[in-house]
Amino acid sequence: MNKKAVLHIPMSQYAFALDEERMVFRLRTARGDMDACRLYYGDRSCRQTPVIFDSVLMKVAAQDELFDYYETEFVSPYRRLCYYFELTAGEERFLYYGDFFSDHCVDDRSEYYQFPYMHRDDLVRPPQWMQDAVVYNIFPDSFASGKGFISNEESRKEFHGKTVRGKRGGTLRGITENIGYLKELGFNTLYMNPIFAAGEYHKYDLLDYFHVDPCFGRDEDFRELVDTCHGNGMRVIIDGVFNHCGWQWDKFGDVVDKGKDSQYSDWFYRLEYPVCRPEDPEVYPDYECFGYERMMPKLATDREAVADYFCRVCRYWLEEFHIDGWRLDVASEVNDDFWRRFYRTAKSVNPEAALIGEVWESAGHWLDGKIFDSSMNYDFRKHCRRFFASRSIDAAAFDGRVTHMRIRYRRQSVFAQMNLLDSHDVSRFLSLCGKDRGAYELAVLFLMTFPGMPSIFYGDELGVEGVLEDEYRQAMPWGREDTLLSFYREAIRFRNGEKALRRGSFRTVSAEKGSRLYVYERRLPEESVLVAMNMEENDAALMPEWLEGRILWQRGLRGERLGSRGFAVIKKEW
Residues 216, 334 within the same domain? yes
- pLDDT for the residue 468: 98
Residues 427, 544 within the same domain? no
pLDDT of 435 over the 90 cut: no
pLDDT band at 434 (very low <50, low <70, confident <90, very high): very high
Q: CA torsion sign, 420 to 426 to 429 to 430?
A: positive
- pLDDT for the residue 83: 98
Q: Among the three residues 473, 500, 527, which one is the final residue of a domain in this structure?
A: 500
Q: Report how many domains make up the chain.
A: 4
Residues 6+ positions from 194 with CB-CB distance below 8 Å: 140, 202, 203, 204, 206, 213, 238, 239, 241, 329
Tens of pLDDT along 498-555? Answer: 999 999 999 999 999 999 999 999 999 999 999 999 999 999 999 999 999 999 999 9
Catalytic residue among 141, 358, 373, 441: 358
Q: Is 358 noted as a catalytic residue in this protein?
A: yes
What is the Cα–Cα distance from 61 to 400, expressed in whole angstroms?
Answer: 13
Residues 197, 276 within the same domain? no
Q: Among the three residues 446, 472, 500, which one is the final residue of a domain in this structure?
A: 500
- pLDDT for the residue 193: 99
Domain of 458 in residue numbering reads as 129-243+301-500
CB crowding 250-261: b at 16 or more within 10 Å, else e: ebbbbbbeeeee
Residues 283, 158 within the same domain? no
Query: Please, which residues bridge with residue 189 across strands?
Result: 135, 235
Residues 507, 562 within the same domain? yes
Look at residue 105 and give its three-state secondary structure: coil
Angle between helices 219-231 and 304-321 (to 10 degrees): 60
Cβ(44)–Cβ(51) under 8 Å? yes
Q: How confident is the model over 259-281, as a mean pLDDT?
A: 94
What is the Cα–Cα distance from 101 to 85, expressed in whole angstroms?
Answer: 9
Which residue type does 151 have?
S
Strand residues in 361-504 grouped as ranges (E): 374-377, 418-420, 453-457
Residues 287, 235 within the same domain? no
pLDDT of 265 over the 90 cut: yes
CATH (domain of 517): 2.60.40.1180
Q: CA torsion sign, 522 to 427 to 199 to 462?
A: negative
Q: How confident is the model over 220-239, as a mean pLDDT?
A: 99
280-294, 323-337, 465-479: the lowest-pLDDT one: 280-294
CATH (domain of 257): 3.90.400.10
3-state secondary structure 136-179: EEECHHHHCCECCECCCCCEEEEECCEEEEECCCCCHHHHHCCH
Residues 511, 426 within the same domain? no
- pLDDT for the residue 109: 95
Cβ(395)–Cβ(517) under 8 Å? yes
Q: How confident is the model over 250-276, as a mean pLDDT?
A: 96
pLDDT of 283 over the 90 cut: no
pLDDT band at 219 (very low <50, low <70, confident <90, very high): very high
Q: Is 329 noted as a catalytic residue in this protein?
A: yes
Cβ(176)–Cβ(209) under 8 Å? no
Residues 455, 536 within the same domain? no
Look at residue 95 and give its three-state secondary structure: strand
Residues 427, 348 within the same domain? yes
Which spans in 259-300 are helix H? Answer: none
Residues 87, 22 within the same domain? yes
Q: Of all helices (H) and strands (E), which one includes residue 414?
A: helix 411-414
Q: CA torsion sign, 40 to 20 to 523 to 64?
A: negative
Residue 538 buriedness (CB in 10 A; 0-12 / 13-18 / 19+): exposed
Look at residue 263 and give its three-state secondary structure: coil
- pLDDT for the residue 243: 98
pLDDT of 59 over the 90 cut: yes
Q: Among the three residues 122, 149, 174, which one is the final residue of a domain in this structure?
A: 122
CATH (domain of 29): 2.60.40.10
Residues 341, 323 within the same domain? yes
Percent of the chain with pLDDT over 70: 100
Residues 52, 169 within the same domain? no
Percent of the chain with pLDDT over 90: 98
Cβ(137)–Cβ(464) under 8 Å? no
275-289, 431-445, 513-527, 551-565: the lowest-pLDDT one: 275-289
Tens of pLDDT along 190-215? Answer: 999 999 999 999 999 999 999 999 99
47-51, 112-116, 183-187, 371-375: the lowest-pLDDT one: 47-51
- pLDDT for the residue 415: 98
Catalytic residue among 43, 205, 329, 379: 329
Q: How confident is the model over 276-304, as a mean pLDDT?
A: 93
Query: Please, which residues bridge with residue 508 across strands?
Result: 520
- pLDDT for the residue 455: 99
CB crowding 177-206: b at 16 or more within 10 Å, else e: bbbeebbebbbbbbbbbbbbbbbebbbbbb
- pLDDT for the residue 287: 94
pLDDT of 388 over the 90 cut: yes
pLDDT of 431 over the 90 cut: yes
DSSP tag of 298: B
What is the Cα–Cα distance from 173 to 403, expressed in whole angstroms?
Answer: 42
Cβ(569)–Cβ(529) under 8 Å? yes
**Mean pLDDT rounded to a whole number for the chain:** 97
pLDDT band at 445 (very low <50, low <70, confident <90, very high): very high
What is the Cα–Cα distance from 27 to 69, expressed in whole angstroms?
Answer: 6
CATH (domain of 318): 3.20.20.80
Distances (CA, A) of 77 to 40, 74, 258, 413, 537: 13, 9, 63, 25, 53
Tens of pLDDT along 293-333? Answer: 999 999 999 999 999 999 999 999 999 999 999 999 999 99
Residue 252's nearest CA partner among 206, 283, 210, 186 is: 206
